[in-house]
Structure 1
Amino acid sequence: MLLTLSLTSLLCQADNSAAQLAYRNAVTPPPPDWNGPVFQLSDAYPTTPPATCDSQQCPWLGYPASLFQTTFGKDGVPQWDATWNSYIQSILSYIREGQSDDLNNAQGFNTQVDGKTRWYSVPWMAYDPTSGREFIHGLTNERTAVLSDFHGSRRNLHGLGANPHTLVGATDSQARFETWAVAYYNDVGAYSLGQAWDQQGNPRFGDYQGVPAQSGMPFATGTVVVKLLFSSASPKDVPYLHGSPQWQADRHVEKDNQFYCERQPQPVHLVQMDVAVVNPQSPTRWVFGTFAYNGDLGGKNVWENLSPVGLQWGMDPWTFPAVPKSASIRARQSVLNRDNLNVRAEHFGCEGRLAGPVDNKLSSCLSCHGGAYANKAGNSFFSGAFSPPIFGFDGLCEQYSQDNSNYFQTLTFPMQPAGGEYGQLLNLDTSLQLQIALQQWSYFQRDKVPQACVDPSS
């Protein structure tokens, strides 16, 4: 409780202007005696529209549109083959440029490539004291994982609580692990970020072909997003994480099988890397992919131990539970690497759709990100439902229902959510970070100061 009060005191004493809160590096700065890495927000967004990204710079754009016409293997499932592996590896090669072979803690993720800034951050991600950016690597707190997420069993797949750092809803064994992640947009996507937010930390709004939108939307062809996800699980807990990059994160302290507001620098291990690219040949304009770290691959470096889990370019609206089982056909807008993973199929999503190791296995990457919407008023996040329930709902993936049918509809910018129950929303072109940023900005408009973290009740 003393540390929580101290944090509240710091927040009250800080410069609480929109600009300061939007563009600050972390929820709290490092202590005076800290001598480790310190995260610096990358927010010098390009001010001119990005040049066209050709297939030499963005080789994934050089593949024919026929690639998205699924090929089925002898077992009747979409076939992961050398072409798909080449596709996702071309994205990984682009991301790897300028990075260390071991992604070590001292260097972290480099935003500079060949002396130029390639990778940029989204503002407002350090506003919330509960889950906002920590000061070492800019990681934010996400879904709490349980041991079965790494080792099997389909219990406790929601893993959601009232706050990300609490363990409310966890029904697995006592082994529970925090997830901390950091994401970046490349320079093409960052132009949109700079259009979406002004230098005073306020959102800009406009329209896209007559449809209300946040300025800068949609993201242009050539946009690349990378997200590194770390877990408090260690190789002792999950043996195939041996050799995984160990970073320090100023994360929540665990006591009595619960995570508290108090933060301390503690180790986390890379468990997953997500990628996403804008590709106009995809029916959603986006292709999402994910890698699982697997030290058993025996690669020469970290990058060679990132095993592709799969790729996804649609939500499979004709596959259960979006339709009844009697009308369902196999998912065909995801292709999953079922053969090359030593970390088993619990890493896949709902009914053959794509999800990563520490994701909700009843969901899918695009079903979740496709629900990135905001109310056009920009200030209604705290009153009622403001967007589809992207992080889970009763019956998700378990039975045919209208909720599941809406959730697994393939949406493209600037379409509205399926179901027609949310009014006129702003489509944020799959960016959950922009959704969080608008949410935090709206809380700032209401409160003028971040609300202090609250410890779980005893």
Structure 2
Amino acid sequence: MKRTLFALACIFAANTALADNAKTEAYRDAAIPAPKDWQGPRFSLSHNYPKQQPAPCTAAECPWLAIDLNMQTDFSAAGVPSWEKNSVYNQYIMSILNYVKQGQTLDLNNAEGLKTQVDGKDKWFHIPWMAFDQHTGREFVHGLTNERTAVISDFYGEERQGLHGLPNAKSGAQAGFETWAVGMYNNYGGYTIGQSWSKKGTPNIETINGVTSTKGMPFMQGTVVVKFLFTTATPTDVPYLTGSPTWQADRHIETNNKFSCERKVQEVRLVQVDVAVVDERSPSRWVYGTFAYIIGPGKTVWDNLQPVGLQWGMDPWTFPAVPKAESIAPRQSVLNESISAFEHFGCNGRLAGPVDNKLSSCMSCHGGAFANTAGNTFATGAYGPPIFGFPGICEQYSQDNVEYFQTIQFPQGYTGGNYPDAMNLDTSLQMQIALQEWSLFKAKGKAAAACEVK
């Protein structure tokens, strides 16, 4: 009897320690803490999520919802959307940017960074568990995480080298530029995050009407997501980044055009700003947009953010989701082709940002945000859709491309009947990463193994 009680006590103590550690890991500010003598900015995770569901967003607070953006597909020749400076597309994306910049500094300076409080109230929130990975997780200065490494052709492209050539660019065709980014959700999105994660740092997964997902899903209308992306490229490499906000980041050290696992505080520059909103008029429930920083006559940084385009679906009738002979021009992406510096866009006229994968698109990538319902598959291997690409992406008509470029919305499963046990996370790749890190913690008690040199 005593041995049984002792065993139960040990199990209870182990579970308590696991829960305490989960809370610490989930809500920590940075993967690697700042040195004791650090005198610069320090990132603080915003996780005081709203406990009450916000009232429906009004047109005064969410003006884009009042803009007559017709997202019904018109297959006639007149149905191909066209970007103009005074078009509803431009009005729509600029209304989102105006919402984002409320309460922020005009120069987005390094000392103040991004403010999560506006007018004394919490406005912006972060997703937990993104400081667990020691290699790519949040750094301590501004909470940036390591994303896709871009190459110089992402910034100018061979086909337009004569117009936007960069003669002083870093030598070597494969020379890479790391991307570091921080994303935030407004109070509408913050409510869903708070429902999805307990204060102990564990996910709240529930099944309602046969649909399994994290609690609070899907994100409600009024949700705004914004992500600021910074690059290690300099104005010497990419001249149109001149004047771009320069921040400090505890990022990887580069030697001979290769990035090591070791970090130190170095400069990064704003290159791209992504926005996304829930708009029930959209066939995906979401509208994604992106801006590129390009030096210009604007008085503030915000004035020099030029819209690249909008996307509300994946254009499943456009190559490579259909054969080239059947393909038509995209109807669910609209691109600003008058942008003043090179922009590579995405796969066959779909939307992608300056440092994004030109063979994908914003929604094709985010549409693959799924997680295993048990929360454990991440630790043992493949878990779901090929978010970041696969052999032959955007190059040929194939079943993989058919599935990758299909418009879906929560709570639909991934197309093609693949990954039947995966739950839809309503396009949130950050939520997916959080569940991935939680599952690794649950399985091993620590993050993945040491990093690999890129």
Give TM-score scaled by structure 2 length. Answer: 0.90
Residue 201 of structure 2 is aligned to residue 201 of structure 1: yes
Give me the whole-angstrom Cα distance separating, in 2, the residues matched to 1:153 and 1:32.
46
Change (3 A) 1:70 1:230: farther
Give me the whole-angstrom Cα distance separating, in 2, the residues matched to 1:321 and 1:79.
23
Change (3 A) 1:17 1:92: same
Match of 1:308 in 2: 307
Change (3 A) 1:388 1:353: same
Q: What letter is aligned with 1:332?
A: R
Answer yes or no: is the 8 Å Cα contact 1:207–1:213 preserved in 2: yes
Shift of 1:153: 3.2
Give me the whole-angstrom Cα distance separating, in 2, the residues matched to 1:452 and 1:33.
29
After TM superposition, the structure 1 = structure 2 runs for residues 46-445 of structure 1, keeping only pairs within 5 Å, are: 46-64=50-68, 66=70, 68-69=72-73, 78-82=82-86, 83-153=88-158, 173-295=173-295, 297-339=296-338, 341-346=339-344, 348-445=345-442
Q: What letter is aligned with 1:52?
A: P
Answer yes or no: is the 8 Å Cα contact 1:80–1:335 preserved in 2: no
Q: Pick one of 27, 33, 36 that aligns with 1:32.
A: 36
DSSP-derived class of the 1:292 partner: strand
Match of 1:165 in 2: none
Shift of 1:69: 4.8
Q: What letter is aligned with 1:309?
A: V
Answer yes or no: is the 8 Å Cα contact 1:80–1:336 preserved in 2: no
Change (3 A) 1:414 1:74: closer
Give TM-score scaled by structure 1 length. Answer: 0.89
DSSP-derived class of the 1:137 partner: coil
Answer yes or no: is the 8 Å Cα contact 2:71–2:312 preserved in 1: no
Q: What letter is aligned with 2:122?
A: T
1:351-400 deviation digits (Å, cap 9, x = unpaired): 11000000000000000000000010110113232111010100000000
Q: Which has the larger radius of gyration?
A: 2
Answer yes or no: is the 8 Å Cα contact 2:232–2:269 preserved in 1: yes
Answer yes or no: is the 8 Å Cα contact 1:177–1:233 preserved in 2: yes
DSSP-derived class of the 1:419 partner: helix
Q: What letter is aligned with 1:299?
A: G
DSSP-derived class of the 2:341 partner: coil
1:95-132 deviation digits (Å, cap 9, x = unpaired): 00000000000000000111101000000000000100
Give me the whole-angstrom Cα distance separating, in 2, the residues matched to 1:384 and 1:98.
43
Give me the whole-angstrom Cα distance separating, in 1, the residues matched to 2:43 and 2:255.
27
Could you say what the CA RMSD is over the residues aligned between the two structures, in angstroms? 2.1
Give me the whole-angstrom Cα distance separating, in 2, the residues matched to 1:75 and 1:48.
41
DSSP-derived class of the 1:366 partner: helix
Shift of 1:332: 0.8
Change (3 A) 1:241 1:197: same
Q: What letter is aligned with 2:299?
A: K
After TM superposition, the structure 1 = structure 2 runs for residues 12-23 of structure 1, keeping only pairs within 5 Å, are: 17-23=21-27
Give me the whole-angstrom Cα distance separating, in 2, the residues matched to 1:312 and 1:397.
17
Shift of 1:81: 4.9
- Equivalent residues, number: 425
Give me the whole-angstrom Cα distance separating, in 1, the residues matched to 2:179 and 2:281.
33
1:136-174 deviation digits (Å, cap 9, x = unpaired): 0000000011111101138xxxxxxxxxxxxxxxx9615
Change (3 A) 1:374 1:34: same
Answer yes or no: is the 8 Å Cα contact 2:343–2:353 preserved in 1: no
Answer yes or no: is the 8 Å Cα contact 1:192–1:216 preserved in 2: yes
DSSP-derived class of the 1:207 partner: strand
Answer yes or no: is the 8 Å Cα contact 2:294–2:340 preserved in 1: yes
Give me the whole-angstrom Cα distance separating, in 1, the residues matched to 2:188 and 2:280.
15
Answer yes or no: is the 8 Å Cα contact 2:109–2:247 preserved in 1: yes
Change (3 A) 1:141 1:70: farther
Give me the whole-angstrom Cα distance separating, in 1, the residues matched to 2:265 and 2:78.
49
Shift of 1:72: 8.8
DSSP-derived class of the 1:310 partner: strand
Structure 2's unaligned 5+ residue stretches are 1-18, 160-170
DSSP-derived class of the 1:219 partner: coil
Answer yes or no: is the 8 Å Cα contact 1:24–1:41 preserved in 2: yes
Match of 1:41 in 2: 45
Give me the whole-angstrom Cα distance separating, in 2, the residues matched to 1:256 and 1:66.
50
Change (3 A) 1:320 1:20: same
